[in-house]
Amino acid sequence: MPELPEVETVKETLKQLVLGKTIRDVVIFWPKLIKEPPDSHEFAERLKGQTIHNIRRRGKFLCLDLDEEVLVSHLRMEGKYVYFNHRADVTKDAHTHVIFTFTDGSELHYKDVRKFGTMHVFPKGEEERRLPLVQLGPEPLEERFTAALLKQRLKNTTRAIKLALLDQTVVVGLGNIYVDEALFRARIHPETPTDQVSQAKLNQLVPAIKETLGEAVEMGGSTVRTYRNGQGRMGMFQQKLAVYGREGEPCVECGTPIKKIKLGGRGTHFCPNCQKRRKRRA
């Protein structure tokens, strides 16, 4: 958390707030979140005087396209950006780790309670050839993400399908919430080994992933913990969650109590009736 829909929402919000603004100063209070260049002073100097021309999303990463550099930001568990239009409105707290001040006096604060977020700066054009972006899988909302492509991405693993979908080198942007929801829509048990997921089920799974993510993007993501967009607004997709966070509640389809298990250390929610584990054929 945040996952693809939340990062997409943050991206669109930031485009409304900071596109076209020029960075006058960068103040870093927690240098450990700066990964490239490793010198946080150099990081700040490379951003000064740069104008934000575009903001993109790659998986769960935000990419801010500047004049000569690209700022790649990962929010991880609890990172968030908060925009202040005037210095008089600014309130720095203990969780503010980076402040970007623009030439018009407005500021963008990066806040992170758990300090797990990361920031990289690369010369424009190099970001896709360098870690962390170079290892990412395909985007699930693009047309080229098909059942055939997913099958090819899964061919070298026999992990549980839930764990495979959480792997950002297989497909990007999916996290705990939306994997649980997509598997429910496709009627696939989360523990099913990938080599036991039939072509017919893959044909159901890919549209389920696209529909789940698309609906979540339209509703601004899911606020199940602390997520807010750059304007402090909550997502609303949590109102449509069918299984995630609903342990013991009746399934929206059949009324069977939703079950929660641990899978790869992650809380995993499913309907034991709608998502029956099928035995391998002899």
Instruction: Domain ranges for the chain, please list them.
Output: 4-135, 147-270
Helix H segments across the chain?
A: 4-18, 40-47, 147-154, 161-166, 176-186, 199-218
Q: What is the mean pLDDT of residues 116-120?
A: 97
Q: Which of 46, 60, 80, 185 is catalytic?
A: 60
Annotate 52-102 with three-state secondary structure: CCEEEEECCEEEEECCCEEEEEECCCCEEEEEECCHHHCCCCCCEEEEEEE
pTM of the predicted model over 0.85: yes
| CATH number at 4-135 | 3.20.190.10
Summarised one tens digit per residue, pLDDT across range 28-61 is: 999 999 999 999 999 999 999 999 999 999 999 9
2 is catalytic: yes
257 is catalytic: no
Residue predicted with more confidence, 222 or 274: 274
60 is catalytic: yes
Q: Judge contact between 30 and 39, C-beta under 8 A.
A: no
Quote the mean pLDDT of the chain: 92
211 is catalytic: no
Asked if residue 132 has a cis previous peptide bond (ω within 30° of 0), the answer is: yes
* CA separation for the pair 14, 8 (Å, rounded): 10
147-270 has the same fold as 4-135: no
Report residue 75 as tokens: 């929010």
Q: What is the mean pLDDT of residues 103-124?
A: 96
Q: Judge contact between 127 and 107, C-beta under 8 A.
A: no
Q: Which of 56, 191, 266, 272 is catalytic?
A: 266
**CATH class for the region spanning 147-270:** mainly alpha
Beta 34-36 vs 118-123: how paired, if at all?
A: parallel
Is a pLDDT exceeding 50 seen at residue 227? no
Geometric angle at alpha carbon 70, from 210 and 123, rounded to 5°: 130
Residue predicted with more confidence, 182 or 90: 182
The reported pLDDT for the residue numbered 89 is 65
Q: What is the mean pLDDT of residues 203-230?
A: 81
Q: Which residues of 213-242 are buried (b: 16+ CB within 10 A; e: fewer)?
A: beebbebbbbbbeebbbbeeeebebbeebb
Report residue 34 as tokens: 């700066």
Q: What is the mean pLDDT of residues 98-102?
A: 97
Residue predicted with more confidence, 91 or 38: 38
pLDDT-derived band at 233 (thresholds 50, 70, 90) equals: low
The reported pLDDT for the residue numbered 30 is 97
Summarised one tens digit per residue, pLDDT across range 147-156 is: 999 999 999 9
Is a pLDDT exceeding 80 seen at residue 1? no
Task: Please list the residues that pair with 94 across neighbouring strands.
Answer: none
